[in-house]
Amino acid sequence: MNAERGMKSGARSHAPVMINYHGKREESMKTIIRAVFVLMLLFGLSGCFTVNVSLTPEVRPLEEKIISGHGKDKILLMDLTGIITSEESGSVLGGKKKPGMLSLVREQLDRARRDKNVKALVIRINSPGGGVTASDTLYHEIKKFRDETGVKVVAHFLDIGTSGAYYAALAADRITAQPTSITGSIGVIMLRIDATGLMQKIGVQALQISSGAEKGMGSPFRALSDEERKIFQGMIDSMYGRFVSVVSEGRKLSPERVRQLADGRIYTSQEAKDAGLIDQIGYLDDAFSQARTLAKLKQATIVTYLRPGQYRPNVYSMNLINIDLGAAAGPGIRFGYLWIP
């Protein structure tokens, strides 16, 4: 009996011990990852290096989406919404910047150039205008597209199509507007912040050392001199003169008549039509009808270009209006074809 117990006891003492190497390796990897993360955090806080993690998806190429209609021939619907600027918009989460208005318009026009079935373009506008250069570039891109492709272009105002937005619309073959649209505001405005009063209150002075008397003209830290006002007014008059010439050419009005209309005031759609600034009052469907007539189309498919994941169930679906006054009144001097009520 004792011998049997000894044999059984010995058998138990020599039984193989199973070690979970997989579990230990997994635990070791977790420990290493934790250590690396802690080191990265410590180095990041000390400023040795930064880790850039994008929480927003990359901007992907535009895709064609059918809105309504049928047939081989197409009418492209394109939006001009918000402040007209060439600046890109970024993400508050540190993601990649989205293309600005000029970049997006050029991207859409380039895609339309490659599609010979696009016979007309309707530009839906809801904008108070924007920067002088951005508005002029937008006008140039639309006019160049129209001249090079022969595609008929109709600009249609929704709530507002003033100043730089009206400037851009002058590149179209026809301009239409809603019965309740506001347009006009033909002119130039210079935006400048004067911080001299604030600086006096807090007892701060700005010291400027420059190579010339007018090198610091427009600085918010001192009042404008009479000479500076004269220089800025000359620049504004030059930009205003270009606006007048573009209106005169696009609307077949004399420069004298345009100057009478272009004192900066806004117009209702009926006043604008009576003055010859637009062609027709109606709704978006009327703009598409106008486009079909100009392109001599009996039927057409209305399409738009969207990023993957975007959705538009009908012609009234559009992006939210981005009224970013920071784009128009940021640091430094800004010249604008812009209506700011």
90 within some domain: yes
161 within some domain: yes
Packing angle, helices 132-149 and 101-114, rounded to 10: 0
53 within some domain: no
296 within some domain: yes
Please confirm, yes or no, whether 89 is among the known catalytic residues. no
Range of the domain at 298: 63-192+242-316+327-338
86 within some domain: yes
Number of domains in the chain: 1
**pLDDT on residue 307:** 84
Phi, psi angle pair for 13, to nearest 5°:
-70, -25
203 within some domain: no
> What is the spatial distance between Cα 216 and Cα 227, in angstroms, rounded to a whole number?
12
> What is the spatial distance between Cα 76 and Cα 298, in angstroms, rounded to a whole number?
16
Q: What is the CA angle 324-319-119, rounded to 5?
A: 120
State the CATH number of the domain containing residue 180.
Answer: 3.90.226.10
Burial class for 221, CB neighbours closer than 10 Å (0-12, 13-18, 19+): middle
> What is the spatial distance between Cα 165 and Cα 312, in angstroms, rounded to a whole number?
23
184 within some domain: yes
Q: Give the closest residue to 104 by CA, choosing from 256, 328, 304.
A: 304
Catalytic residue among 135, 163, 219, 248: 163
What are 147's two structure tokens? Answer: 């001249």
**DSSP structural state of residue 271:** H
How far from each other are the two terminal CA atoms of the chain, in whole angstroms?
A: 108
Q: CB–CB of 82/322 below 8 Å?
A: yes
Q: Could you tell me the mean pLDDT of each successive run of 10 residues in the chain, 341 residues long?
A: 47 49 60 60 47 54 92 96 81 58 94 97 96 96 98 97 97 98 95 80 81 79 85 94 98 97 96 98 97 96 86 57 47 67 63
Burial class for 59, CB neighbours closer than 10 Å (0-12, 13-18, 19+): middle
213 within some domain: no
Please confirm, yes or no, whether 24 is among the known catalytic residues. no
Catalytic residue among 116, 215, 230, 296: 215
Q: pTM of the full predicted structure?
A: 0.75
**pLDDT on residue 215:** 80
